[in-house]
Amino acid sequence: MNSFFKDIAKISGSNTLATLVSLITGIILTRTLGPEGRGVYAALMVVPAIVLRFAEMGIRRSIIFHVGKDKFEESDIVVSLIYLVTGATILGIIVSAYFYVFLENPLFTIPLIILAVSRIPLRLLRRYAGGYFMGRQLYNTSIKLRWSFQGLYLISMVIFLPILKMGVTGALIALIASNFIVSAIALYKVIHYSDKGGKFSKKAFLSLLKFGLLYSISTFFMMLNIKVDILLMGKLSTMEELGFYSLATAIATNWQVPFAVGGVIISNSANTENANIKNANISQLIRLSLLIGVLSYIVLFAFAPFLVEILYGKQFLPGVPMIRYLLPGILLLIISKILSSRLAGEGKPFVYLYVSVPALVINIVLNFFWIPRFGGMGAVYATNISYAFMTLAGLILYARLMDISMIGIFRYSKKDFRVIADLFQISVKKFKKLF
C-alpha cells in the first residue's frame, strides 16, 4: 500500500475514533436539551457555522497547498496568518450580527449571541494551525489537536450540562472553553515548528488569500446545501421539527467524517508531480469510499430506530425517517468533497463553483416549496436532489479536466479490495494500541 493510502488510513482512523467521541458529546447535548432546546441550539449555532465557513476563506486548504509547494518562506506564511485571522474575525462578527438581526428570534439573547460569535476567532486559529501542520505533512500533530479538542469538549459538556444543568448557555460555554484551550496549544506549536524572524510578505499574503477565497467560495456553496436547510426551517417550521432535522443532519454528516480526508488529498496533490499516479489514487479513493459508504449506509439504515431510541431517547424517534433518507445525499457528498479537494490540489480551487452554485439554487428553491408542506422531510428531499445534481455534474467536469474516463473511475479491481484489507489491518492495530 502506497504512502497516500497509509496517510488516508491514519487520518481516517483518527476521524473514526474522534467521531465516536463526538457522538457521545452529541448524546449528552441532545438528551439534556431535548427536541426544543436542541432546535434552539442548532438555530443559534447555524449562523456562526455558516459565517465561519466563509470567514475561514479556505485558508486552511490554501496553507496546505502553499506549504506543500514550498512557494514562500514558512515564517512569512505564519506572519500572514496573523493578519488573516484578525481580518476574518472582524468580518465574521459583523456578518453574524447582521444574520441574528435578520432572524429576529426572541430566544436569542445578547449573552447567547456573544458566546456563539466568540467561537469565530478561536475556530479560525485552530483551523489555520491545522492547515499548517497538514501542509508540512505533520499528520500526527494535526491528529493530536483534533483529539485534544474532542476530549476537552466532551469533559466540558459533562460539567456544564448534566452536572451544572446550564442548558443552552452551558453548551455554548463548553464549546468556547475547549476551543480556547486547544487554540492556545495550536498557536504555541506553530511558533515552535516554524522558522523564527518571519516578516509580512504582501505576495505571500495575497497568494494565500486568493487561493483561499476561491476554494472557500466553492466549498461554501457545497456546505451551505445542508446549513441553508436549518436556516430556512428556523423561518418556515417549528423549533421541535428543527430539533429532529438538526439531529438527523448531525448523525448523517458525522457518519461521513471518516472519509473527510481533503487535507491529505490537497497535500498529496501539491507534493506529487506525477499526474497519472494522482489520478489513479483519487479514482481508487472514490471507489473505496463509495463501497465502504454503501456498507455503512445499509447498517445505519437498518439500525437507525434502535440507535436513536437507545442513544437519544424515544422523543427523537420522529427524526429516524430524516436520518435514513438523508444518507444517500451524504454518500454523494463524499464523492464531491474528494473531487473538489483534488482540483484544489492542482491549483484550481474555483472550478467546483460551476456545479456547487446551481446545486445550491436547486436546494433553496425546493426548500421553499417542500418545507412548509413536508417539514424536515421536505428539506431531506431537497438536499438529496441537489447533491445528486452536484455529484453527477462534478464527475463529468472532473473527468474532462483530468482527461480520464468517468467509467474508469468506478471500475473495481482486486487491488481495491487488497487496499481495504490493508486499511482494516491498520485500523485493528491502532485500535489494539489504545487498549
Question: Is residue 119, in this structure, part of any structural domain at all?
Answer: yes
Question: Is residue 435, in this structure, part of any structural domain at all?
Answer: no
Say whether 403 sits in a helix, a strand or coil.
coil
Is the pLDDT reported for residue 124 higher than 80? yes
Q: What crossing angle do the helices spanning 59-69 and 320-345 adopt, rounded to 10°?
A: 30
Nearest partner of 145 among 156, 160, 155, 132, judged by Cα: 132
Question: Is residue 307, in this structure, part of any structural domain at all?
Answer: yes
User: How much is the pLDDT for 385?
Assistant: 93
Mean of the per-residue pLDDT values for the chain?
A: 78
Count up the domains in the chain and report the number.
1
Q: How many CA atoms lie within 13 A of 125 on its CB side?
A: 23
The 10s digit of each residue's pLDDT in 176-224 is: 999 899 888 888 887 776 666 667 777 878 887 777 777 777 777 777 7
User: How much is the pLDDT for 2?
Assistant: 56
Query: Domain span at residue 68?
Result: 3-429
User: How much is the pLDDT for 434?
Assistant: 47
Confidence of residue 431 (pLDDT cuts 50, 70, 90): low
User: How much is the pLDDT for 8?
Assistant: 62
User: How much is the pLDDT for 308?
Assistant: 85
Question: Is residue 323, in this structure, part of any structural domain at all?
Answer: yes
- Tell me the whole-structure pTM to 2 decimals: 0.63
Average pLDDT on 292-316 reads: 84
CA 199 to chain centre: 32
User: How much is the pLDDT for 75?
Assistant: 73
User: How much is the pLDDT for 294?
Assistant: 84
Q: Are 222 and 340 in contact (CB under 8 A)?
A: yes
Question: Is residue 434, in this structure, part of any structural domain at all?
Answer: no
Question: Is residue 306, in this structure, part of any structural domain at all?
Answer: yes
Confidence of residue 424 (pLDDT cuts 50, 70, 90): low
Rounded Cα gap, residues 198 and 196, in angstroms: 6
Nearest partner of 333 among 369, 361, 359, 358, judged by Cα: 359
User: How much is the pLDDT for 258?
Assistant: 44
Point out the least confidently predicted range of 249-253, 260-264, 394-398. 260-264
**Distance linking the first and last C-alpha atoms of the chain:** 26
Q: Are 265 and 282 in contact (CB under 8 A)?
A: yes
